[in-house]
Amino acid sequence: MVVGERVDVWTTPAGSPLGFAWRSGRYRMTELPMRFFTRRPWWTEQDRVNKGIGAQVLETEVWRLTATRRGRQAERVFELTREESGWRLARILG
């Protein structure tokens, strides 16, 4: 399920997520997160990317994590993206 909503994220000093708040719920991780990078759909955001502008324009940092909502046992898999303006819950996978 694609979400695309901003979330508040708590991180380690190194920047790895520990948990997040979304829609009046607090989620805590149950496994170590996996970090990867994906290409942004820059072609939908702007007409073109200038030569030599850098990878940060083309890549998005994504964290896939397994978490549970406080007070519930069911685990779900979430993908969070880190942007200049903050964190966003991009998708719920399970």
Sequence letter at residue 18: L
Beta strands in 1-94 (DSSP E): 2-11, 17-22, 25-29, 34-39, 59-69, 75-83, 86-92
pLDDT band with cut points at 50, 70 and 90 for residue 91: very high
Is 84 or 20 the better-scoring residue by pLDDT? Answer: 20
- Give me the mean pLDDT over the 40-46 stretch: 59
Is 87 or 53 the better-scoring residue by pLDDT? Answer: 87
Residue 33 has pLDDT above 70, yes or no: yes
pLDDT band with cut points at 50, 70 and 90 for residue 48: low
CA 83, CA 94: separation in Å to the nearest integer? 23
- Give me the mean pLDDT over the 87-91 stretch: 95
Q: Is 33 helix (H, G, I), strand (E, B) or coil?
A: coil
Q: Where are the domains of the chain?
A: 2-92
Instruction: Kindly report the pTM of this predicted structure.
Output: 0.78
CA 3, CA 58: separation in Å to the nearest integer? 21
